[in-house]
Amino acid sequence: MKDNKQPILEIKDLQTHFKTDAGVVKAVNGVSFTVNKGETVGIVGESGCGKSVTNLSIMRLIPSPPGKIVGGEVLFDGENILDLPESELREIRGNKISMIFQDPMTSLNPFLKISTQMIETIRLHEKDVDKQEARKRSIEMLKKVGIPAAEARIDSYPHQFSGGMRQRVMIAMALSCNAQVLIADEPTTALDVTIQAQILELIQQISKDFGTAVILITHDLGVVAGMCDKVCVMYAGKIVEEAYTYELYNNPAHPYTSGLIQSVPRMDTQNKQKKLFSIEGQPPNVIDLPPCCPFHPRCHKTMDVCRCALPPTYEVSEDHKVNCWLYASEEEKAKAVADAAKENDK
């Protein structure tokens, strides 16, 4: 799979800002990554780092106002989604790219039957399918995601389903049009642990069966390790490290990534008495970030240069990119410090 890489979704320098009374929140501030066909990409990071906003921006679902996509490109099959008119955008939404949301309890319409909501999704994108046919397909999808007695239960209302079942319905609905990209925004956060595993396995299975590319947003590194081909680590609206999963876990290049990995409790290590590692401090406020590495106040490898300039992207090995001054040459760092000093004098 990795040899035959064909990009299906390319995000280039995406910027989404929110206007608030306190100032402009740069929730997504220049994010770029590529999703290849059939690949599963994980996006990890702490709460508020811009994971969800990135993915809502891909679908142009940012509530506006106050949010606005101010720059960048989202190329789906070479076409920039951000430039499409509403009508063509609707052709992509739910049809070619579909989404599973974080909270299954509130993401289904409580006033409409499951059948209504599923049938309308199919008929929305395939106009020639009649109601009976769409219903049949919906039942099949429900069976595929493991809803028992799907024929009878399809006419239930969402409140008659448990959280895990509702998330299954969401997945069934998202996949009923054979989307090429599935965006799963923390699909298991609201569910209990046993259901989590089932849902994740289901997404993995479906991705394999249909060749669907998956963007999995999560803050659970364990989930990422088990599911994703590639991982993007986000911090303060930017991707700070991007690599294949195996590489990332074995050679984390960014201090933030290694911090995240260390803060996952493990059963197989020695010293179980030792206190679990945690990254000191809080993520920065993304309003009016100074031009410096946003992670430097929490980093244990901070250098002078981190305080005065944004780190550029370095390639530590093939397909392993990181934004950190640790990988810069001495001259480069000296130059950045000097430039910042000049800027300050002005």
Partner 1 sequence: MTKYIIKRLLGMIPTLLVIITLSFFIVRVAPGGPFDGERALPEEVLANIEAKYHLDEPVLQQYGRYLFDVVRGDLGPSYKYVDNDVNYYIFTSLPNSAVLGVVAILIALIFGILFGILAAIYQNSWIDYLTMGLAVLGISIPLFVIGPLLQLVFAMKLHWLPISGWYSTGEGYSTIILPAISLAFAYFATIARLTRSSMLETLRSDYIRTAKAKGMKNSTIIAKHAMKGAMLPIVSYLGPAFAGIITGSIVIEQVFRVPGIGKFFVQSSFNRDYTLIIGVVIVFSVILVVMNFLVDIVYALLDPRIAY
Positions touching partner 1 (CB under 8 A) are: 59, 61, 63, 65, 89-95, 98-99, 101, 103, 106-113, 120-121, 124-125, 157, 159, 170, 173
Cβ-in-10-Å burial (0-12, 13-18, 19+) of 288 comes to: exposed
Nearer to partner 1, 99 or 165 (CB): 99
Q: Which residue has the tokens 């009878």?
A: 152
Nearer to partner 1, 124 or 316 (CB): 124
Nearer to partner 1, 121 or 257 (CB): 121
In whole angstroms, the minimum distance from the beta carbon of 99 to partner 1 comes to 5
Nearer to partner 1, 94 or 311 (CB): 94
Q: Which residue has the tokens 């990409």?
A: 41
Return d(Cα 143, Cα 186) in angstroms, integer: 23
Buried b (16+ CB within 10 A) or exposed e, 115-151: bebbbebbbbbeeebeeeebbebbbebbebbbbeebe
Nearer to partner 1, 125 or 296 (CB): 125
In whole angstroms, the minimum distance from the beta carbon of 110 to partner 1 comes to 6
Torsion angles phi and psi, residue 125, rounded to 5: -105, -15
Nearer to partner 1, 50 or 311 (CB): 50
Return d(Cα 55, Cα 166) in angstroms, integer: 21
Cβ-in-10-Å burial (0-12, 13-18, 19+) of 46 comes to: middle
Q: Are 323 and 33 in contact (CB under 8 A)?
A: no
In whole angstroms, the minimum distance from the beta carbon of 174 to partner 1 comes to 8
Nearer to partner 1, 129 or 303 (CB): 129
Cβ-in-10-Å burial (0-12, 13-18, 19+) of 261 comes to: middle
Return d(Cα 98, Cα 173) in angstroms, integer: 9
Nearer to partner 1, 117 or 245 (CB): 117
In whole angstroms, the minimum distance from the beta carbon of 100 to partner 1 comes to 9
In whole angstroms, the minimum distance from the beta carbon of 151 to partner 1 comes to 19
Q: Are 121 and 94 in contact (CB under 8 A)?
A: yes
Question: Taking Cα atoms as reference points, which of 110, 118, 60, 53 lies closest to residue 84?
Answer: 60
In whole angstroms, the minimum distance from the beta carbon of 164 to partner 1 comes to 17
Taking the C-alpha atoms of 223, 162, 144 and 116 in order, what is their torsion angle to the nearest 10 degrees?
-130
In one-letter notation, the amino acid at residue 73 is E
In whole angstroms, the minimum distance from the beta carbon of 105 to partner 1 comes to 9
Nearer to partner 1, 106 or 263 (CB): 106
In whole angstroms, the minimum distance from the beta carbon of 321 to partner 1 comes to 29
End-to-end CA distance of the chain: 52
In whole angstroms, the minimum distance from the beta carbon of 95 to partner 1 comes to 6
Q: Name, in order, each residue with C-beta under 8 angstroms of 63's C-beta and a sequence gap of 6 or more.
A: none
